[in-house]
Structure 1
Amino acid sequence: MPTLLLTRRRTAGPFRGLLLALLLLLVLPVRATHIVGGEMDLQYLQNATYQLTLNLYFDAINGSSGALDNDLTVSIFEKGTDRRMQNLTLPLGANTLVNYTSPACALPTSLVTRKLVYSGRLELPANVYTNPAGYYAAVERCCRNSGIRNIQDPADAGQTFYLEFPPVVRNGQPFRDSTPRIFPPLGDYACLGELFYYDFGGQDADGDSLVYELATPLNGHSTPGLPKPPVADPQPYQPVRWSAGLSTLNQIPGAPTLTINRQTGRLQVRPTDEGLFVFGIRCAEYRRGMKIGEARRDFQLKVIRCAQNAAPTMRVTLPSGAGTFRPGRDTLRLRPGFSRCLTLKVSDPDSPSRLTMSLRPVNFTAGQLPTISTTQGTVRSPGAPDTLVSQLCFPACFNTRGRVYLLDLIVADNGCSLPKRDTVRLAFTAVPDPNSPPTISSTAALPLRARIGDLITFDVTGLDADNDPMTLSMAGRGFSPADLGITFVQQASGNQLQGRFTWRVDCRAAARTSYEFDFTASAGPCSEPTAVGLRIPIQIDYSNTPPVLVSSLPAPSTTGPIDAPVRVRRLIGNAYEATFTGTDADTDPLVLSATGNGFDLAAAGMSFRPQNGNGRATATFRWDPNCTGLKLPDGALEVTFRLQETTCRPEPRSRVVRFELINPDTVAFTPPNIFTPNNDPNRLNEYFQLENLPPDFCDSRFADIKIFSRWGNLVYRSTDRNFRWDGSQLAPGTYFYLIEFTDGRKFKGPVTLAR
């Protein structure tokens, strides 16, 4: 031990011996052997979060309470490089006993195992865990039970709990994986010289394929001197050393030795030596044929000498006492009019013995199996019989369709550690009793026609003369009746089942011209009923004549687009009125409306007064033009007039009208181009003034006039549209004017000043 300790902790100097002694004193309380086995699994939660769980199986009899850890540390490494990614402390959670398959077989003085569950949240960021080779997790702990017989120096052997998992990103896409969970833990012992089997099969949340094989348990780097390293070292992890003559494929002495089914995980061994034996299994995980991870489990199997347990026996008596069935020679033939019940007599030479009977179909799918009157009972105990008798009865409907079916009749005792069984393979054919099909009828008076608003009701009745269990159903061909508000309420009376069909036809029915309903009555024994059907069509009478909209609006253009709006132009103060009349041949309720496209009618000086009714609607529209319309981007107002009918499939009619204000400036603007401020006695042409300026109109108003010299110097400016420029004592010559309006319009030109 000192050599191993000093190899891991290379302490130099004269204090080496003192340090070794102190370390040994510190670890003495936890040197007791206690590890039965264990495994890890990693489950995806969400985003980058996973749950890592370590199950450690603890020897509750030989293990020291000081070796029960409150936490363990798992280390995560990158495969290929063995780079340490992170360490995670796993606190102890659950601490429970591993149950025996049969509590009566428990050996509390020699085999009691606890399951210690350590668990924690593990973060695997997608930008970090991208190595294509994957990753592995490891926890190292010492020591195993000293009484293990199939490995060398078991008290000095530790266990490395080991798990492999893939990257969380593959080919640039998220790759989510939950590793296999191996279950359940082994709580039973094996009997010397008797076949022992146990299901170690696991489950995978992703549905990946699992393959099982035996593996040599891993020892690792932990030692009795350092039973709980602070963190795990990277691989390689040394395996345990098998005793002479044993190996990975021969872990427990037996005939046959320990094996595991690659697909199911079922363990099997017939041990030839007594004692405690450790074994290891590896569960590899495959997705689309590629291995993506693995989980390992170490465990122990205790082999003891068991009391002799004789197997129970079963005898099958044919119907009506016609003899005993001989497996492999007889075939039972079940026919109409004859008994379908067999008598099962089971016994067991052991005293007392509790027997359990069960059925297992061999070459057919388990549908409705025969019934067993008594499935459990005790024999050869005070007050109990020596033989347990039960009736096995086949249903009258059982039909093998000319084939010979094989059915295993199994009786098992409650012997330890595994029950002994006797199996009788029953070969049989069965012809069902004659059965009349059900009948179906309705009260519907065909042909059925309906209009919107009608209420349709009728009854559908299913009748079975044999009084077999019956069902009645309704389905729509290409539609769901429930979507149309249809109900089909059923009630039973004797051997008939009646359903009431109810449909208040509304606008949902107008989507189609007809509907077909399939009604089915199904009845028959067992799980093979006979079905009869009835189809009922319902014709929907619905049509709609589109309404007609007539107005006094201008006629649409015959050269422009069909849907282009008509134009109405008016001067301010010149009112406009239009009338509208809507009619409908179906006398459906009509509604006339007018909507401003992006503005309020009243604010724009518009009004619309409708009078709506059934089959006819009228309205009057009036526009008192004002400048409101010029606040829109294009200086116009668009109004949509709509005639809407109230019916199942309405066809509205509409007109769009574009209302525009007319600018009153209809006279061409021709300013003078010369004036003579020379103090003429008649005062003629003394000023430059513009009496025919375009008038102010809504947002287009006179802003100012500017006059410039030929060199661009401003010589005159006025904001009064009635300005008069007298030349300002300037020299004769040509000048230039610029007139601006508030809407951006401009007028410019030359004017000559002559004296």
Structure 2
Amino acid sequence: MPRLLFLLFFCGLLLSAERSQATHIVGGEMGMQHLRDSTYALNLIVYFDGVTGDPGALDGSLTAAIYEKGTNRFVEDVVLPLQQNTLVDYTDPACSNAKLITRRLVYTRNLVLRRMQYRSPSGYYAVVERCCRNRGIANIQNPGGAGQAFLVEFPAVVQANGQAFRNSSPSLFPPLSDYACQGELFYYDFGGQDPDGDQLVYELVTPLNGHSTTSDSKPDRPASAPYSQVRWRADLSVSQQIPGKPTLRIDARTGRLEVLPTELGLFVFGIKCSEYRNGVKIGEVRRDFQMLVINCARNQKPQLQVEAQGHSLPHVPTGTLAFAAGEARCFQLRFTDADAASRLKLYLRAVNFEATLPTPSITTGTVRSAGNPDVLVSTVCFPNCFDTQGKTYELEFIVADNGCSLPKRDTVRVAFTATAPPDLPPSISTTAQLPLRVHPGEAVNFEVIGQDLDGDALTITMRGLGFDAPSLSSTLTMRPATATERRADFAWTVPCAAIDRGLHEFEFLVTSSNECHDAQTQRVVVPIQVEYENVAPLLQTSFSEAPPAPDAPPILITLPMGGVYEATLAGTDADPNELTLTAAGKEIDLAMVGMTFTHQDGLGKAAGTFRWEANCEALQRQPLEVTFTLQESTCRPQPRQQTVRFAVLLPETPAFLPPNIFTPNADSKNARFELASVLPPEYCTQRFGDIKIFNRWGRQVYRSTNRSFSWDGGGLPEGVYYYLIEYSNRQKFKGTITIAR
């Protein structure tokens, strides 16, 4: 199809290295960008005519002069070297025209704006002057002799209170190397961006001519303000810079530029962008542009038809569509173009709301060519959850072709409301039987039940109000969910650590969630009162008639060697707790010293039997001490104890009074020497060893290891004999015995 090539020729500046009067300036702009601390970059962008411009007029550097606003006091010169030389690309390369080529020249240098030098409240401006503009410009007088003053205004770097003030000039849109078509609307979004977030205001201005002339096309130092302006053609002015119906205009807030040119030719125009911070103007940037208007082949407008699913078709863009809850929010879009082989692009624009818009099933396609349909069909569906919150949203469906220089478009605006599915809050309950009063060691179990009639996903959580529930070993175990219900099992075996707090409030929360609404949470609190009282158990023993008192001295039990002692113990508890009876010897093994202890433990009662048979080990290790303990199984036990000391009584030892004479003379009287009745008793380590009898010369005449020995003298002569008796514990007895006949 014939393509309308649409060229917006942004202001280019050709700065010649020589002082020639060659015409080459398309337009340009200056800017001041903050880099760091007090360092800034001063930038100059010049747009150069790449078709008729004289290459010899391309400057390797340009000089900028900085002046104080109001007083026009000169501050300093800044030499700006050429850093970039590139071509400006067409918006659509298919619409390019060999008669229109623009180069983008970038001159830049860093400089330091010192606080003591740049502190004037009125601010400053930087300027570069160069001549000359293209001779073919049709809307100003003497274009070949007209120069351009590139100007940027910027504030002081320090405020009145001494605080640093940082600012960067606004960055305007990238230039387009396009052209406009006579009789067709030209539009472009010239809106810029400000690095500091300042407010930007756009307006059309008359381009500046400045002081440069054909004879002095590149002044050594640009002069200070004021600067002369170009002179408009007699029938034109700043408010009507390009012949058109409507003439050139710009939106002060958005920077959108529009014109429907009615005359062929090359036209220059100027735009000023002012920046405001907190309602105060702090700077401005100017840019000159050129627009080439040509005769373009006829391009027909594409057509778009919108059909709303579930509503009468086709949709007429009047009235308001209402999508009910649960209803599909879909539109079917049918778009075509009468021109052959037209490539179409479909997109959406929210007019009065902010939201992420859905992507059409088809966004681009070609119609009316071999292998391609005549009509493209695309579907756009908003999510089922999309809700206009009771407001009427306006949405534009736009289809654009690939005509030159700018696409033609068809727009259908739809007003609609949409209601999201309802979202009832969930409910939560428990099977806990209140009031809950429990004691340590008891188990608490109940169900927590969450329900949601909408069938939303449910989660149940638990927490303690003022305490950490998991640290007290409480658990909440989830069950598999059903369509509208979720259950969880609460389990808590009350620990001793819960005694001090007493009242424990467990909070259970059920949260419902779905893709259409924010999560909703409901709660229920189950109070559990932990109670604890403990009565000390009672210990009764046969060791004494009264129960043992705390800190009472031990009871003393004595028993002769080989004697047997038995005692009984009984424990009772009114609570009742599990009772245990134990017996522990102090540094002794009970069995080794002849002691045994048997016990029967139980809930609320315990019994024990103690038996002691005094043995030699007990004799050696005495005094013996045994502590009997009645222990209760509870959080804060109060044990009861009875301590008993045991002692072994030694056998009585008679005085050792042995005979000193015996008469073995066959008269059957006092005929033998015997000591069994007068010897010390035998026990444990005290055992009879032997008796030895010696004559007066020390010769042993008799020996016996029998305690009950009986010596008849052995036929020895009368006289005095000596005896020695030894026990196993080294006890010795000595004496004399006389044989008389």
2:363 match? 375
Residue 114 of structure 1 pairs with residue 106 of structure 2:
no
C-alpha displacement of 1:43: 2.0
Residue 245 of structure 1 pairs with residue 235 of structure 2:
yes
1:732-752 deviation digits (Å, cap 9, x = unpaired): xxxxxxxxxxxxxxxxxxxxx
CA distance in 2: counterparts of 1:43 and 1:499, whole angstroms: 62
After TM superposition, the structure 1 = structure 2 runs for residues 339-488 of structure 1, keeping only pairs within 5 Å, are: 339-363=328-352, 365-367=353-355, 369=357, 372-400=360-388, 403-435=391-423
C-alpha displacement of 1:471: 8.9
Distance 1:342 1:126, change over 3 A: closer
C-alpha displacement of 1:76: 0.6
Distance 1:207 1:361, change over 3 A: closer
2:75 match? 85
Task: Note if contact 2:204-2:270 (Cα within 8 Å) is conserved in structure 1.
Answer: yes
The answer for unaligned runs of 5 or more in structure 1 is: 1-24, 449-457, 482-487, 502-509, 542-755
Distance 1:318 1:34, change over 3 A: same
Match of residue 262, structure 1, among 238, 244, 252: 252
CA distance in 2: counterparts of 1:317 and 1:268, whole angstroms: 31
Task: Note if contact 1:357-1:376 (Cα within 8 Å) is conserved in structure 2.
Answer: yes
Task: Note if contact 2:396-2:411 (Cα within 8 Å) is conserved in structure 1.
Answer: yes
Task: Note if contact 2:428-2:524 (Cα within 8 Å) is conserved in structure 1.
Answer: no
Task: Note if contact 2:132-2:147 (Cα within 8 Å) is conserved in structure 1.
Answer: yes
Residue 179 of structure 1 pairs with residue 183 of structure 2:
no
Which AA in structure 2 matches 1:54? Answer: L
Distance 1:214 1:402, change over 3 A: closer
Give the secondary-structure state (helix, strand or coil) at the position aligned to 1:101. Answer: coil
Distance 1:389 1:500, change over 3 A: farther
2:441 match? none
**Number of matched pairs:** 496
Give the secondary-structure state (helix, strand or coil) at the position aligned to 1:66. Answer: helix
C-alpha displacement of 1:96: 2.8
Residue 147 of structure 1 pairs with residue 99 of structure 2:
no
CA distance in 2: counterparts of 1:141 and 1:478, whole angstroms: 78
1:12 match? none
After TM superposition, the structure 1 = structure 2 runs for residues 298-337 of structure 1, keeping only pairs within 5 Å, are: 298-319=288-309, 322-328=312-318, 331-336=320-325
Residue 129 of structure 1 pairs with residue 114 of structure 2:
no
Which AA in structure 2 matches 1:361? Answer: A
Which protein, 1 or 2, shows the higher relative CO under an 8 Å CA cutoff with sep ≥ 6?
2
1:385-438 deviation digits (Å, cap 9, x = unpaired): 000111233432333455544332222222222222222222334343455656
Distance 1:82 1:415, change over 3 A: same
CA distance in 2: counterparts of 1:491 and 1:110, whole angstroms: 77
Give the secondary-structure state (helix, strand or coil) at the position aligned to 1:245. Answer: coil
After TM superposition, the structure 1 = structure 2 runs for residues 548-627 of structure 1, keeping only pairs within 5 Å, are: none
Give the secondary-structure state (helix, strand or coil) at the position aligned to 1:310. Answer: coil
Distance 1:404 1:127, change over 3 A: closer
Distance 1:471 1:423, change over 3 A: farther
The answer for unaligned runs of 5 or more in structure 2 is: 1-15, 437-445, 470-475, 491-499, 531-741
Match of residue 285, structure 1, among 263, 270, 275: 275
Structure whose CA Rg is larger = 2
Residue 158 of structure 1 pairs with residue 147 of structure 2:
yes
CA distance in 2: counterparts of 1:209 and 1:106, whole angstroms: 35
1:62-108 deviation digits (Å, cap 9, x = unpaired): 2233222222211111223322211111222233332333333222x
1:226-264 deviation digits (Å, cap 9, x = unpaired): 332222122222211222212222211111111122222
Give the secondary-structure state (helix, strand or coil) at the position aligned to 2:94. Answer: helix
1:472-526 deviation digits (Å, cap 9, x = unpaired): 9999999999xxxxxx9x999999999999xxxxxxxx9xx99998967352234
TM-score normalised to structure 2 length: 0.58
C-alpha displacement of 1:272: 0.9
C-alpha displacement of 1:201: 2.0
After TM superposition, the structure 1 = structure 2 runs for residues 632-643 of structure 1, keeping only pairs within 5 Å, are: none
Task: Note if contact 2:426-2:510 (Cα within 8 Å) is conserved in structure 1.
Answer: no
1:608 match? none
1:127-153 deviation digits (Å, cap 9, x = unpaired): 122222221110112222222111122
Give the secondary-structure state (helix, strand or coil) at the position aligned to 1:268. Answer: strand
Distance 1:167 1:464, change over 3 A: same
Which AA in structure 2 matches 1:143? Answer: C
CA distance in 2: counterparts of 1:164 and 1:479, whole angstroms: 64
1:705 match? none
CA distance in 1: counterparts of 2:49 and 2:127, whole angstroms: 21
Which AA in structure 1 matches 2:147? Answer: G
Distance 1:341 1:295, change over 3 A: closer
CA distance in 2: counterparts of 1:70 and 1:538, whole angstroms: 86
Residue 66 of structure 1 pairs with residue 85 of structure 2:
no
CA distance in 1: counterparts of 2:141 and 2:278, whole angstroms: 40
Which AA in structure 1 matches 2:174? Answer: P
1:149-174 deviation digits (Å, cap 9, x = unpaired): 11122222221111112222332423
CA distance in 1: counterparts of 2:479 and 2:86, whole angstroms: 53
1:231 match? 221
C-alpha displacement of 1:444: 13
CA distance in 1: counterparts of 2:486 and 2:58, whole angstroms: 67
CA distance in 2: counterparts of 1:187 and 1:529, whole angstroms: 49
TM-score normalised to structure 1 length: 0.57
| CA RMSD in angstroms, aligned pairs only | 4.7
C-alpha displacement of 1:348: 0.8
Residue 52 of structure 1 pairs with residue 75 of structure 2:
no
CA distance in 2: counterparts of 1:479 and 1:37, whole angstroms: 73
